[in-house]
Structure 1
Amino acid sequence: MPDSQMIDAGSAGDGRTSVQILRDEDLDEKFPNRPRNHSKTLPFHDLFLTLFNPLNDNKKKPTGPLMARRKSGPHGPAGQNPHEVRQNIIERFISRWRKEVGNDIHPAFRLIIPEKDRERAMYGLKEKTIAKLLIKTMRLNKDAEDAFSLLNWKQPGDSSVSRMAGDFAGRCYEAISKRPMLTEAGNMTICEVNDLLDRLSAAQEEDAQEPIFAEFYKRMNAEEMMWLIRIILRQMKVGATEKTFFNIWHPDADSLFNVSSNLRRICWELYDPSLRLEGEERGITLMQCFQPQLAQFQMNSFQKMVERMKPTEDDSVFWIEEKLDGERMQLHMISDDEIPGGKRFGFWSRKAKEYTYLYGNGFEDPKSALTRHLKEAFDEGVENIVLDGEMITWDPEQDAMVPFGTLKTAALAQQQNEFATKSIRPLYKIFDILYLNGQEITNYTLRDRRRALQGAVKGVARRMEIHTYEEAETAVAIEPLLREVVAEASEGLVLKNPRSSYRLNQRNDDWMKVKPEYMTEFGENLDCLIIGGYYGSGHRGGRLSSFLCGLRVNQNQISQGANPMKFYAFFKVGGGFTAADYAELSHRTDGKWRKWDSRHPPTEFIALGGDQLQFERPDEWILPSDSVVVEVKAASVAVTDQFKMGLTLRFPRFKKLRTDRTWETALSISDFITLKGNAEKEGKEKKFKIDDSRRKRQRVPRKKPLTVAGTEALLDVPFGGKVTNVLEGLNFYIMTGSQKPEKRSKAELEHLVKSNGGKIVQNDSRPGTVCIGDQRTVHVASLCKRRNVDVIRSSWLFDNIRQSEADQGRPSLLLPLEPRHMFYTNAESESRIEGAVDEYGDSFARDITVDELKEIFDSMPAKFEHSFSAKDFKSELEEHGNDLKEFPGWIFEGFLLYNDPQIFNGASLTDKNADFRMRQACDTARFAGARLTNNLKEGVTHVLVGEDRSTTRTLRLRTSEFQRLPRLVTVDWIEQSWQEKTLLDEERFAPP
């Protein structure tokens, strides 16, 4: 066979397995006109020598007027801006590939933009696992300096050990360069690297991945290994996005990726730039994942958001939908006579991960978690369809949505038991239709698409439903609905323009999300003590960049003889610090930090979440008496089990150091509870006031009742004597209500105890008192820590009463405690309690229920995989998205900035003679998400002022009557926030 025929799209000629050859035959059938490379792929080191490194160097160069003074360099003439240089670097690489290799650039693109390669599965590797693999590969002693440096890559080392703190790939480079197998670049081709990476992703287990890493180490030098690790972690950050590469490769590449999410298709169908896509090829295709439309970020003024919906005199309506807390999912269905039921399904997430294996490929799929319930969901005339919606988790017993994080578990449980009618399940909520019976309808208005959706989909209750919406014409309608969904623990709202078309992979003003900001009632002032520190990565590497803050335990909560200097972990804060803030904090705590020892944690001073599990444990800790108090503000308070308080702050941000406070005057637990209670009370009063002032309107149906039927009547019934005597002679200290197996309040549980012979006490001072608690409140947590006692769940009460009733009046003995009954178990009781059940958790002393029996069966070793996968759950969380304000490019998102015209001497914002520094600050703010205005009106969040005090006084007077006062700030606020890559507190930059 000629050599040219042996060399496929960068694969043959480098050594292919039989499996790869069979796969290539399938690809030949799917892509009959695929391009063929005439030569082997380029060496792997050419990627970073000619592409990555030049792009990184270009990323660090100045922009704007400073570029005019830059001397001519290797990548562009003098005066050429970085955008042009970047384009030239990529164009040269692509031109060289076409000339020296061929028209198939897919092998290279898989390594250049690895995060867009959907075909290669996740490796299941993070920094710590890679560090362990490298330590084994290089035969390092675990106590060696380099081994410690790899495992603790965020921590700074001695100058002799490491200067790359916070950069894991850089740490790997340092360790490998001291003991390389190769000093010069290796001879591995791009294709060979791809083949080994395919094997690495298929291996998954650490033992199977070790020999593959050893192969890389043997054939690569230190710099090659550094870039390989960045590819594996999908953390390239070379200064060019996938859109830049796509547009240079082919003018239609980005459009095709939006409708297919297929990197191979981009490379194989668009290898000739002179051939353009036809109109039909640019649209959505059945069974091809597309990039969905996204909602624009929230603005500060509801009125401004409504104006962006482009109302007309004849049609000023906009839609308000509840924002669902699930996973964005697209559903494709086509007719297929070869599959049982005649319809074939496909499911893809927003990140183009396919979930058909989970939700089902047809009506008769035995492993389906959803589709086998959809036989009656579509109109008879529907042959094929593409739907856009949200996959959420639904609890049938509560008839309510379950918060995000349990979707995968719920779907796997439904796969394994189709008759589990009472267990949580996936529910598909549809809010758009994009394709129907062979016709793409994205260009139709949302209103017309909704009519088509209602005609095509009938739905199945609590399996697949059309998402509801309310129509409104003014901004007044938004706030009451927002308060209503907040009361039901929902994420927020989405405003939609019914006159808009569907725009793939765009975030525009036709869809805008509204999320609540809770903590304005807190006065923004929370003074908490720093009790721990975490080393940063990236530009914050090598120093403590974020800090664990705690609440002081009150004296009345500390048992006699305990350390009064005790703090409960409450939240982590890392945003809002300037370099000067870090310097002052470091100066005040220099020499006082101590390494956190997981085997001997400082529990007498600091209490972490998870107790022995040590959730959110810091890298370093500090004695409270040696520490400093910081003032922070945050968006809201959230419930969590990650911090000892059971609560934490969402999006906390540093305001300033409180040098006037010490650990003894820092915020305590009782102080915070009082603050929180006052804020909630004020919020309710505000809500009632607003609701009373509104005219009556149609209300959104609640997802769950606000009260439990019969609760009020039960509380009003006085104690009327014993029902059984099973609890006679026992004293009970009831600390919380219960959720399972029955939802009862604390008062109801006390009534239940007295009805069955027990006695209620209000503390645990009497010997033998039975302490009942189901939730980690402050009282429960304090009891667990200060006394050698057991805290028992209320389920033990229900089991005893149920067993007594089953004995039909015969004398009943108390049931022994079982592990499922325990909220907290002291060491002396563990063996006795574990001995009450067999190896599977089946009780020796009582009759178990049907639901318990099912749980026991589910926990037994089975042929199928366990329903919960930590790896999949982690991947699911990663796909849920992040808060963009944590990234420098979005720090001013949602702000509306007013520019004082007097600063420009009457000039407009675009006047070339206007003050350069002010214009540059405005451009920076606009680049990082802010909007600018020359109209000082309601809704403005910040006013940029100059040095003229009379002008500042005038602006303060003009804004004093606004319902929401804007912040008056100088240009320094924008400049330093951008320089520090975090949003700084405005009060520090207020004009005099």
Structure 2
Amino acid sequence: MGDDASTKGNVPISDDAAREDEMQYGSVGMSKEELDDKYPNRPRNHSKTLAFSDLYRDLFNPLNENKKQPSGGPARKKGPHGATKLSPHEQRRNIIERFITRWRKEVGNDFYPALRLILPDKDRDRGVYGLKENAIGKLLVKLIKIDKNSEDGYNLLHWKLPGQTAASRLAGDFAGRCFEVISKRPMRTEPGHMTIAEVNEQLDKLAASAGEAENLRVFEIFYNRMNAEELMWLIRIILKQMKVGATERTLLDLWHPDGEALFNVSSSLRRVCWELYDPEVRLEQEESGVTLMQCFQPQLAQFQVSASFQRMTELLRPTEDDPEYWIEEKLDGERMQMHMVNDPNHPGGRRFCFWSRKAKEYTYLYGDGLQDEKSSLTRHLKNAFAPGVRNLILDGEMVEWDMDVDKIVPFGTLKTAALSEQNNPSSSDSAGRRPLFRVFDILYLNDKQLTQYTLRDRHNALEKAVKPVHRRLEIHNHTVATGPDAIEPLLREVVANASEGLVLKNPRSMYRLNSRNDDWLKVKPEYMDEFGESLDCVVIGGYYGSGRRGGMLSSFLCGLRVSQNHIQAGANPEKCFSFFKVGGGFKAEDYAEIRHRTEAKWIEWDPKNPPSEYIELGGGEARQFERPDVWIRPRDSVVVSVKAASVGPSDQFARGFTLRFPRFRRLRLDRTWDTALSVEEFQHLRQKIDEESKEKAMTTENRKKRSVKRVKRELVIAGEDSSAPAEFEGPKSKVFDGLEFCVMSESLKPFKKTKMQLEAIIKENGGTISQRAEPGTNMLLIADKKVVKVASLMKGGGVDIIRPRWIRDCLEQAGGGFPLPFEEVHLFHATDELKAAAEENSDPYGDSYARDVSVEELREILADMPKFESTEEFSKGQFLEELEERGRGLNDMRGMIFQRCVVYMKEADEKDGRLLRKLTNYVRYAGGMCVDDMENEDITHVVIVGEDAMQIGDAADSIRRELSTRHRMPRLVSGKWIEDSWKERTLVDEEQYAVL
């Protein structure tokens, strides 16, 4: 570098590196002086950054290939020459470590320019681009000068739709489709020389762009200096859709041992790179905690899908001396952290900052000070803190509160309410909707971190530091409990109030940043959906609400109609028994419809003269449990459809049982009161569900018993004693009923069975066995090897010998319901007559007309098929018209079952990539469309793909929030809906697959 190099201490810095360093000033929104003042010891690179092409070739592409490997199995395996083969996880770490090592050696210790491109969704310094797929597609069409009506132009602008060419396989992959289009007309074919720093500089300009003209200039620079593959990865960076299989936890940990810890307390890639550039220098204890005015990653609540209440309380680790745990209502809002410091230079003397769980700043919305007239919250907090409080950090939930009804409004319009409060600072303090900050934790107080203290101690500090402001800033209440029995009544209460659920907390626990653990457990009624049935019951009573709903019926008592036995014994046919009380799930229009249909028909309940002729309550006339405020004759009432978690015993209701966590689904205006559920009908339904539960419980035990029997039988076979009889367990089916077999040899792979095993299988399914072959009769001769007996029969001629795989195919097809016709693959040796008949049972390529072929068999068939191309252009419209003319509906074809579905797939776990690909193929093959952009208004179904119910629940919560503002909500279902629809060859009802 010689005389052309500047220096930083004793480290020579090239002119190129110095110029690249200056590029970062604007990128982080600071002048050189401010940057040097805040980070005086930040690292400087000695050389210019690597080429952007090195980033995708050495990191992105290898990680992408690594992601395709199966993740299961042992961590290490032996290679072909005895060498240890690394697991995919270890390979992934090696790829990242190699790139970091190269960067330190060839560039220097400032990894920030690269890391913000590797983790673009975590970069908080660069502003938003305001560009989605459609906008980028239009820019590329203009830039490359493609006719938008041409095939490539159409594919680029309609990237979500499958095309008629190779682009069809990239439908839904916008960056991949851009690569296909650009690679046909690139400015460069070889990788470009644009450095990572130069890419960041142009991305800063793109984020600061004021319109399409500026965007076009930036994209023109990229197009001229990058090849198609570079542009593909660049577009993924802009869209923040990398999905290379490496999480920020892995990347940060490999950059520095304390990288993840600092990111958890700061949410800043810049701090991680500039403060932790030397792996040998560890983070000080006080530096690894939360910091004022610096966003942190909050603790999250865990949930146990199948755990009982007893198990949940055990997970909270109670002790004999301290058996307590806390129960809080789970709020339906947005997780928020509030930072406050005394600042004499700020109007009002206090300064505030707000961040969401995802590190998005909302100070602009909720206010930065006590005199911020545009704030929707902080201007109301003049008296919210105790004297002597200089600074603090609060953790809580920002909810929308409706003052008119004095209750929380479901999440979805919180920001609208905050903006309304901003724009109307003089609005009434007792009406309308406003943001309310419900605080449940304090992590910092008067220059002291509190995360290392117990929740109980933190809550004591919170109560002393914060003075609640009515319906502006309040401390979230909790219930102290010591046993599992306390959970159900509270859960019933929150369900009745249409709330989210509960959170159980260990008061002895410390606060753990960016962690989801058993110290906080969330409980939702939907997690315990055992009953699963929608029940149609008649409304027999009503309860008045409070607040805005004072004087109005807000919840209802539902009953079971009297059974025929009671009627025959003289009971009033109109009598009903109290069954459950429901108040959750009703919309305003539901209340209005019920009011309209029952107006003037309600009668005030008189405890001294109860309407026993029509209604029977729990406890009888003496106690009258769950007594309603008003009652209605069943014939004048309405029928409601409800869903519940399960049925449980209760003396509060007439028949000694009730529904646990009932929730209103819809009004059944198509049903009259006398068609609603009766006691007798419900008992039958309950019995059926109990039997199904017992069957499920017995499945594992039965499998174990069958396994033991199978092992016993195979132990006899393993003795190679041909005289030992095969154990016969009794008939399993009648598929071979009336057929006589002579098994002359064992069967070979893939249906490998001994002769005795084959005979046992035949007998178990209704067939009879003969040890003497009789050609010319109806006896079926079975063989897979040319043993002496078989060779002798073949030499004599005129004999048909069938392969054992025919037995397997008969049993596998439709559960073994009928014997299949013979096909060519079933014939070991056959007469010309049987060969001709067998040829008629499969198509010219060997695909069976009578049975489903396996995947492997289908591969073999396709591999042997001749390849030809039709010169006629396929017309979808003409094809559909021909189907209708021939009287075949589209629903009869598996290839059309998803034809009206637009599906967005959401991976609950990165490990489920193979399952996601399979489900995506099902949808596309069956006429549906899969999209990668959840902003697409055409989406009909959002499918959560995964095996882990906890991760599915988290993914569903996230998706539900993003969809909450839509005018038309897509259905939120599990991946099993696609699998079962494919299996049944029709769209099955989504209700039982709904992710709640």
TM-score interval, normalised by the smaller of the two chains: 0.5 to 0.7
Q: Taking structure 1 as reference, are residues 332 and 639 closer, same or farther at Cα in structure 2, changes over 3 Å only? A: same
Inter-partner Cα distance in structure 2 for 1:334 and 1:110: 30
Shift of 1:169: 0.9
Q: Taking structure 1 as reference, are residues 323 and 22 closer, same or farther at Cα in structure 2, changes over 3 Å only? A: closer
Shift of 1:364: 1.6
Inter-partner Cα distance in structure 2 for 1:308 and 1:361: 40
Residue 205 of structure 2 corresponds to 199
**In percent, how many aligned pairs have the same letter?**
56
Inter-partner Cα distance in structure 2 for 1:681 and 1:57: 46
Q: Taking structure 1 as reference, are residues 125 and 54 closer, same or farther at Cα in structure 2, changes over 3 Å only? A: same
Residue 377 of structure 1 corresponds to 384
Residue 478 of structure 2 corresponds to 469
Q: Deviations over 1:408-466 (max 9, x none)?
A: 22222222222112332111100001111111111111111111100110111011000
Among candidates 51, 64, 67, match of residue 56 of structure 1: 64
Whether the 8 Å contact between 1:4 and 1:39 is mirrored in structure 2 is: no
Inter-partner Cα distance in structure 2 for 1:976 and 1:135: 34
Q: Taking structure 1 as reference, are residues 233 and 456 closer, same or farther at Cα in structure 2, changes over 3 Å only? A: same
Inter-partner Cα distance in structure 1 for 2:151 and 2:300: 47
Inter-partner Cα distance in structure 2 for 1:52 and 1:896: 47
Among candidates 511, 515, 523, match of residue 533 of structure 2: 523
Mapped pair 1:510 → 2:516: no
Residue 491 of structure 1 corresponds to 500
Inter-partner Cα distance in structure 2 for 1:682 and 1:13: 62
Shift of 1:407: 1.8
Q: Deviations over 1:449-494 (max 9, x none)?
A: 1111001101110110000111222222222212221222211111
Q: Deviations over 1:623-642 (max 9, x none)?
A: xxxxxxxxxxxxx989799x
- The 5 A counterparts of 1:416-435 are 416-421=423-428, 422-435=431-444
Q: Deviations over 1:152-192 (max 9, x none)?
A: 22322223544322211111100111111111111211011
Mapped pair 1:221 → 2:227: yes
Whether the 8 Å contact between 1:363 and 1:373 is mirrored in structure 2 is: yes
Shift of 1:496: 0.9
- The 5 A counterparts of 1:352-367 are 352-367=359-374
Among candidates 117, 139, 151, match of residue 145 of structure 1: 151
Residue 4 of structure 1 corresponds to 6
Inter-partner Cα distance in structure 2 for 1:524 and 1:102: 64
Q: Taking structure 1 as reference, are residues 900 and 433 closer, same or farther at Cα in structure 2, changes over 3 Å only? A: farther
Q: Taking structure 1 as reference, are residues 366 and 238 closer, same or farther at Cα in structure 2, changes over 3 Å only? A: same
Shift of 1:195: 1.1
Inter-partner Cα distance in structure 1 for 2:913 and 2:21: 52
Whether the 8 Å contact between 1:333 and 1:344 is mirrored in structure 2 is: yes
Shift of 1:688: 7.7
Aligned-partner residue type, residue 89 of structure 2: H
Among candidates 334, 337, 340, match of residue 330 of structure 1: 337
Among candidates 40, 47, 51, match of residue 43 of structure 1: 51
Shift of 1:687: 10
Whether the 8 Å contact between 1:521 and 1:679 is mirrored in structure 2 is: no
Residue 448 of structure 1 corresponds to 457
Among candidates 293, 296, 301, match of residue 287 of structure 1: 293
Shift of 1:904: 12
Mapped pair 1:23 → 2:31: yes
Structure with larger Rg:
2
Residue 277 of structure 1 corresponds to 283
Residue 765 of structure 1 corresponds to none
Q: Taking structure 1 as reference, are residues 432 and 284 closer, same or farther at Cα in structure 2, changes over 3 Å only? A: same
Shift of 1:12: 2.1
Aligned-partner residue type, residue 286 of structure 1: L
Give SS of 2:401's match.
strand
Q: Taking structure 1 as reference, are residues 975 and 94 closer, same or farther at Cα in structure 2, changes over 3 Å only? A: closer
Among candidates 139, 160, 164, match of residue 158 of structure 1: 164
Aligned-partner residue type, residue 523 of structure 1: E
Whether the 8 Å contact between 1:8 and 1:36 is mirrored in structure 2 is: no
Q: Taking structure 1 as reference, are residues 482 and 205 closer, same or farther at Cα in structure 2, changes over 3 Å only? A: farther
Structure 1 portions without partners, runs of 5+: 527-635, 646-675, 696-705, 707-775, 780-894, 908-946, 950-973
Residue 405 of structure 2 corresponds to 398
Give SS of 2:355's match.
strand
Q: Deviations over 1:280-317 (max 9, x none)?
A: 11111111111100000243222211111111122222
Whether the 8 Å contact between 2:298 and 2:514 is mirrored in structure 1 is: yes
Aligned-partner residue type, residue 126 of structure 1: K
Give SS of 1:123's match.
coil
Residue 127 of structure 1 corresponds to 133
Inter-partner Cα distance in structure 1 for 2:656 and 2:6: 77
Normalising by structure 2, report the TM-score.
Answer: 0.54
Residue 568 of structure 2 corresponds to none
Whether the 8 Å contact between 1:9 and 1:36 is mirrored in structure 2 is: no
Shift of 1:244: 0.8
Whether the 8 Å contact between 1:149 and 1:157 is mirrored in structure 2 is: yes
Q: How many residues align?
A: 587
Moved over 4 A (4+): 5-11, 13-22, 69-72, 518-522, 636-641, 681-695, 776-779, 895-907, 974-983, 985-989
Shift of 1:23: 2.8
Shift of 1:897: 14
Inter-partner Cα distance in structure 1 for 2:359 and 2:522: 22
Residue 964 of structure 2 corresponds to none
Aligned-partner residue type, residue 461 of structure 2: A
Mapped pair 1:340 → 2:347: yes
Whether the 8 Å contact between 1:340 and 1:362 is mirrored in structure 2 is: yes
Among candidates 23, 28, 32, match of residue 40 of structure 2: 32
Shift of 1:331: 0.8
Residue 311 of structure 1 corresponds to 318
Mapped pair 1:258 → 2:264: yes
Mapped pair 1:237 → 2:239: no
Shift of 1:778: 11
Inter-partner Cα distance in structure 1 for 2:698 and 2:20: 60
Inter-partner Cα distance in structure 1 for 2:284 and 2:505: 30
Whether the 8 Å contact between 1:977 and 1:984 is mirrored in structure 2 is: no
Among candidates 395, 410, 414, match of residue 417 of structure 2: 410
Aligned-partner residue type, residue 359 of structure 1: Y
Shift of 1:210: 2.5
Give SS of 2:327's match.
strand
Mapped pair 1:111 → 2:147: no
RMSD: 4.1
Q: Taking structure 1 as reference, are residues 161 and 457 closer, same or farther at Cα in structure 2, changes over 3 Å only? A: closer
Residue 642 of structure 2 corresponds to 680
Q: Taking structure 1 as reference, are residues 360 and 977 closer, same or farther at Cα in structure 2, changes over 3 Å only? A: closer
Structure 2 portions without partners, runs of 5+: 8-12, 537-583, 594-637, 658-663, 670-695, 709-756, 762-911, 920-944, 947-974, 984-996
- Choose 364-373 or 206-215, whichever is displaced more: 206-215
Inter-partner Cα distance in structure 2 for 1:363 and 1:897: 65
Shift of 1:85: 1.5
Whether the 8 Å contact between 2:49 and 2:197 is mirrored in structure 1 is: yes
Q: Deviations over 1:138-164 (max 9, x none)?
A: 222221111221232232222354432
- The 5 A counterparts of 1:583-594 are none
Residue 83 of structure 1 corresponds to 89
Inter-partner Cα distance in structure 2 for 1:343 and 1:8: 44
Whether the 8 Å contact between 1:496 and 1:512 is mirrored in structure 2 is: yes
Whether the 8 Å contact between 1:135 and 1:142 is mirrored in structure 2 is: yes
Inter-partner Cα distance in structure 2 for 1:77 and 1:904: 42
Shift of 1:686: 7.0
Inter-partner Cα distance in structure 2 for 1:120 and 1:268: 16
Aligned-partner residue type, residue 297 of structure 1: F
Q: Taking structure 1 as reference, are residues 15 and 270 closer, same or farther at Cα in structure 2, changes over 3 Å only? A: closer
Q: Deviations over 1:341-366 (max 9, x none)?
A: 22211111111111122212221222
Higher RCO (CA < 8 A, seq sep 6+): 1
Q: Taking structure 1 as reference, are residues 906 and 334 closer, same or farther at Cα in structure 2, changes over 3 Å only? A: farther
Aligned-partner residue type, residue 60 of structure 1: K
Give SS of 1:12's match.
helix
